[in-house]
Amino acid sequence: MALFKGAGVAIVTPFNENLEVDYEKLAELIEYQISEGSDSIIICGTTGEASTLTHEEHLECIRFTVEKVNKRVPVIAGTGSNCTQTAIYLSQESEKYGADGLLVVSPYYNKATQNGLIAHYTAIAKSVNIPIIVYNVPSRTGCNILPKTMATMVKEVDNIVGIKEASGDIAQVAELMYLTDGKIDLYSGNDDMIVPTLSVGGIGVISVLSNVAPRQTHDMVMRYLEGDTKGSMELQLKLMPLVKALFSEVNPIPVKKALNLLGFNVGGLRMPLTEMEPANTEKLIQALKECGFIK
């Protein structure tokens, strides 16, 4: 059984004025997401600035989120690292806290061969008992998990159950579904490719867009899964200006700016991320207006 179907939000990590984690605001964001129909909370992913959190902050965000969600929707903890032992540590601790599943990005910077990827993910999976969603995002990691590699892991490791596919290559995604006989939980990792991913057997999205538009993103997926492909497509196209603006600079710079513009007050960014350029901010404001989020 899939961890979730629909739209899971890759939730931001809010900071206070001193750039410390604002847990009170995180609680507010969690409540908002659940009330607006998000089907899962993904904590400490790329959008959550996990790469600039200390291990203590990282784990506390996961523990806090599990406690606040209290089984109302699945909580999936981002526990990936370019160090296998670090990923194992974060994964085991997250399991202890009660996370429903793990999102594990492929090793970045030092990368890995395809055989190395199999060894890395197998070691992590064997260290825990909860399901793992592999995260393939070559533009960030410099490492592409090939369909044959993913198919091998899904067939040989029981708790590697899904993939967040952000390669941007729909032909690669289709090949993956062919090689696995569709027996993998496929989630879009790109908000501009939700409907195309669903069309080859996807069951949802792990979404940046959901931070701003949780209800619409949920509806986009569920309409498709319930047979309303036209309605799903219309939502995808309607939201394209906002999606484009949300990726006009490195994620999560634009989505944090969008949330602040909408009054959520999620704070700033930790370096090396910096505030959004004025020209791109104007484009973001126009996209929010065009999509009906501000007047």
Catalytic residues: 135, 164
Report the DSSP beta bridge partners of residue 160.
132
Cis peptide before 252 (omega within 30 of 0): yes
**Residue 232 to residues 80, 122, 229: CA-CA distances in angstroms?**
31, 36, 5
> 10, 47 in Cβ contact below 8 A?
yes
Q: Where are the extended beta strands (E) located within 11-130?
A: 40-43, 75-78, 101-105
Can you tell me the distance from the alpha carbon of 264 to that of 188, in angstroms, rounded to the nearest whole number? 26
Tokens of 71: 């089984």
**Residue 141 to residues 110, 112, 115: CA-CA distances in angstroms?**
9, 10, 16
> Can you say whether residue 289 is alpha, beta or left, with left for phi > 0 and alpha for psi between -120 and 50 degrees?
alpha
CA angle (215 as vertex; 137, 204 as ends), nearest 5? 35
CB atoms within 10 A of CB 112: 19
Name the CA radius of gyration of the chain, rounded: 18
- CA dihedral (51, 57, 58, 61) in degrees, to 10, reads -130
Residue 107 carries which DSSP code?
P
